[in-house]
């Protein structure tokens, strides 16, 4: 598409436009799928697996908002892909591929792009989710990465948010709150000392912010056992509220059972007020799932076989209203905010 | 996803986050497709039509780069969708839906969004391409709209860029160069007087820049008759070069046969140097197609029935190299640049 920025600067271009060269150099090597047509056509084509629904999700990350502009380019790329993979995971979906739209300011050069593309390619391989197409545009703003990822599920089996029923157990994968604490550490390194963290604990939290670990390995198990699921991206409290609202149910969670990493436990012991950050902070990219109690053992076994720990943190209840998170005294915790939103 | 911008400002939010309310108010009404789940889930699901391939394309537009920040919000929205619909059209694809990623600076308010959503919804209805999902994020940069549109074609029938063969005719829809001239008018209104345009001609060119008219009505005809096709978004000269490169052929175009609007003809008569802008400027969003000469009449008839004029501008030739655009004297024109690129 034509931009109206300084067309004169383009006068000396050879036959391949700058955009074409950029794509050929950095992104064509990632476009291994046949239907990507080596990024040389206007669109990608895929043959959907027989008997399947196609599931699509889009998530963008913006420099200065969702990542720090000086984060390593490969991590930025991987985070951009992983936040989308996390949505597919929570919906029980096997990835098929993604489209990348990259808005780049002028100061971004070949070296950054090479680093970015390497990170993207390594995760595309690792998660079996190849680059199929996209767009690169100039922006006077920050680096902005929009990804649309898609995948397939047997027809009608996408795990929805709206299937939770009274009596279901509530489970989460991994540990909660690490990324939100990692972000606070990023803002102020002195927090590490305040919270009594050793270097390994500091690094653990910082890395959980920088790079989520999407739970695609349990997608099949979720489809088999979960009545509802979603990924925890905007904070456990707020995201569980969304799931409950979609399902028309309430929930009662035992806050003490919410799984914490050793680093988060240490921080919480030394700074008890962090409980709110842990429970409402974003960027966990764990899976929140509900299921009948009789299925929990089988789900736990399947998740464990896939290397993913799951923790039962409470129960779905009849009724409506915000889920209750009960403190050690059995009384509901009160949060200033349920989840992050920049609107 | 958690942003790290001023979480304190969020303390007073009610249960629905600002992002959720924004989506519910402005975009949920557009999410009429069943698989959009009223934008209340993490992903959309569609059942692909039997025997079809799914075709996907992504295009982004950025404020201050691809549109003027003071363009009417409904036009911005429609342009963002239409540049994607244009890709589907050129590939012979029937639209199924789209995902929208919207990066919004703080100054964008409800009124702008309502206007934006109205424009988007009206085109989604008109082109049968419903909103299925997406993401809204904050940006310190300009409004950035990334759309991934997708549709279906009978298996293996997506019209590629690489099917042009020596002897094929080269055709374009509509008229070429209007949007590029419209952009020059937008930059300097005095151009209208310089080029001898009356008010209607000025308005024609300006509106062709503001809002392209994608050629989705001839998608079936392209699939039936075209050996290769693409949409003309980066300038006819450069885009034909891409098609020729993909097909491994050359081309010879009679520049005088390139279809021009009355407004463009008037401008060109008064300012002959505009020929380069017309032939290499972007944002036409016409379809460039090749086909054997024996199919041209049937294609023309089908396009005409769909209300689209097509013009035969030259022929595909054996060999390689940039397509030649021949002037009135029969000698090839020389262009300073073949197409726009902001990289």
Q: If you search the block for the tokens 């911005």, which residue do you land on?
A: B76
Contacts (Cβ under 8 Å, ≥6 apart) of B302 = B218, B220, B221, B224, B225
Residue B185 vs residues B181, B202, B261, B279: alpha-carbon distances, Å:
6, 8, 15, 17
pLDDT digits (tens, 9 = 90+) for B162-220: 999 999 999 999 999 999 999 999 999 999 999 999 999 999 999 999 999 999 999 99
For residues B160 and B246, the answer to whether their CB atoms sit within 8 Å is: yes
Q: Are strands B250-254 and A131-138 parallel, antiparallel or unpaired?
A: unpaired
pLDDT digits (tens, 9 = 90+) for B272-328: 999 999 999 999 999 999 999 999 999 999 999 999 999 999 999 999 989 999 998
Which residues from A are below 8 Å from B185, CB to CB? none
Distance CA B212, CA B80 (A): 10
For residues A259 and A172, the answer to whether their CB atoms sit within 8 Å is: yes
CB half-sphere exposure, B7, CA atoms < 13 A:
21
The phi, psi pair for A102, rounded to 5°, reads -120, 115
Burial of A177 from C-beta contacts in 10 A (0-12 / 13-18 / 19+): buried
pLDDT at B343: 62
Contact criterion met (CB < 8 Å) for B60 and A141: no
Residue A250 vs residues A165, A241, B43, B86, B338: alpha-carbon distances, Å:
9, 8, 23, 46, 61
Contact criterion met (CB < 8 Å) for B43 and A87: yes
pLDDT digits (tens, 9 = 90+) for B18-49: 888 899 899 999 999 999 999 999 999 999 99
SS3 state of residue B273: coil
Beta bridge partners of A310: A173
pLDDT at A148: 98
| Strand stretches in B35-143, DSSP E | 44-46, 52-62, 94-104, 131-138
- What sign results for the dihedral spanned by CA atoms A38, A39, A40, A45? positive
Is residue B12 predicted with pLDDT exceeding 70? Answer: no
pLDDT at B26: 94
Average pLDDT for chain B: 93
pLDDT at B328: 87
Contact criterion met (CB < 8 Å) for B48 and A45: no
Q: In percent, how much of chain B has pLDDT > 70?
A: 94
SS3 state of residue B116: helix
* Full pLDDT tens readout for chain A, 343 residues: 444 433 332 222 334 678 888 998 999 999 999 999 999 999 999 999 999 999 999 999 999 999 999 999 999 999 999 999 999 999 999 999 999 999 999 999 999 999 999 999 999 999 999 999 999 999 999 999 999 999 999 999 999 999 999 999 999 999 999 999 999 999 999 999 999 999 999 999 999 999 999 999 999 999 999 999 999 999 999 999 999 999 999 999 999 999 999 999 999 999 999 999 999 998 999 999 999 999 999 999 999 999 999 999 999 999 998 999 999 899 999 887 766 565 6
Element holding A267 (H helix, E strand): helix A262-270
Distance CA A291, CA B318 (A): 64
Q: How far is B309 from chain A (nearest CA, A)?
A: 22
For residues B193 and B277, the answer to whether their CB atoms sit within 8 Å is: no
For residues A285 and A232, the answer to whether their CB atoms sit within 8 Å is: yes
pLDDT at A269: 97
pLDDT at B5: 35
Is residue B13 predicted with pLDDT exceeding 70? Answer: no
Q: Are strands A324-326 and B52-62 parallel, antiparallel or unpaired?
A: unpaired
Q: In percent, how much of chain B has pLDDT > 90?
A: 88
pLDDT at B8: 31
End-to-end CA distance of chain A: 30
DSSP conformational letter for B88: H
Average pLDDT over residues B127-143: 96
pLDDT at A183: 96
Contact criterion met (CB < 8 Å) for A144 and B103: yes
ipTM for this model: 0.92
The structure tokens listed for A43 are: 């669109």
Q: How far is B213 from chain A (nearest CA, A)?
A: 14
The structure tokens listed for A101 are: 């739209």
Among candidates A175, A231, A233, A232, which has minimal Cα distance to A204?
Answer: A175
Which residues from A are below 8 Å from B130, CB to CB? none
Which residues from A are below 8 Å from B135, CB to CB? 58-60, 146
Cβ-Cβ pairs closer than 8 A, A with B, add up to 335
pLDDT digits (tens, 9 = 90+) for B48-71: 999 999 999 999 999 999 999 999
Distance CA A99, CA B288 (A): 24
Is residue B7 predicted with pLDDT exceeding 70? Answer: no
């Amino acid at each position: 598409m034509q931009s109206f920025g300084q067309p004169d600067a383009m006068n000396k271009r050879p036959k391949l436009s700058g955009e074409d060269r950029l794509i050929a150099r950095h992104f064509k090597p990632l476009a291994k799928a046949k239907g990507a047509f080596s990024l040389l056509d206007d669109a990608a084509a895929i043959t959907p697996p027989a008997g399947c629904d196609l599931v699509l999700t889009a998530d963008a990350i913006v420099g200065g908002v969702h990542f720090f502009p000086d984060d390593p380019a490969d991590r930025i790329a991987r985070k951009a892909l992983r936040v989308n993979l996390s949505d597919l995971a929570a919906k029980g979906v096997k990835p098929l591929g993604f489209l990348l739209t990259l808005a780049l300011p002028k100061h971004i050069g070949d070296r950054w792009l090479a680093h970015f593309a390497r990170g993207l390619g390594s995760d595309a391989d690792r998660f079996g989710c190849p680059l199929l197409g996209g767009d690169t545009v100039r922006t006077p703003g920050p680096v902005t990465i929009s990804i649309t990822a898609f995948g397939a599920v047997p027809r009608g089996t996408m795990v929805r948010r709206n299937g939770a029923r009274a009596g279901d157990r509530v489970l989460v994968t991994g540990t909660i709150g690490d990324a939100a604490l990692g972000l606070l550490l990023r803002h102020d390194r002195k927090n590490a000392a305040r919270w009594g963290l050793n270097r390994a604990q500091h690094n653990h939290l910082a890395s959980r912010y920088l790079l989520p670990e999407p739970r695609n390995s349990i997608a099949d198990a979720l489809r088999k056992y979960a009545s509802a699921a979603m990924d925890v991206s905007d904070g456990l409290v707020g995201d569980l509220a969304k799931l409950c609202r979609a399902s028309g149910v309430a929930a009662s969670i035992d806050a003490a059972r919410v799984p914490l990493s050793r680093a988060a436990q240490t921080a919480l012991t030394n700074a008890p007020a962090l409980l709110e950050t842990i429970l409402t902070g974003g960027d966990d990219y764990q899976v929140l799932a509900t299921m009948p109690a009789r299925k929990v053992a089988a789900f736990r076994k399947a998740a464990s076989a896939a290397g993913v720990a799951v923790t039962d943190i409470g129960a779905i209840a009849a009724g409506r209203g915000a889920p209750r998170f009960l403190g050690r005294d059995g009384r509901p915790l009160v949060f200033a905010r349920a989840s992050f939103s920049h609107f």
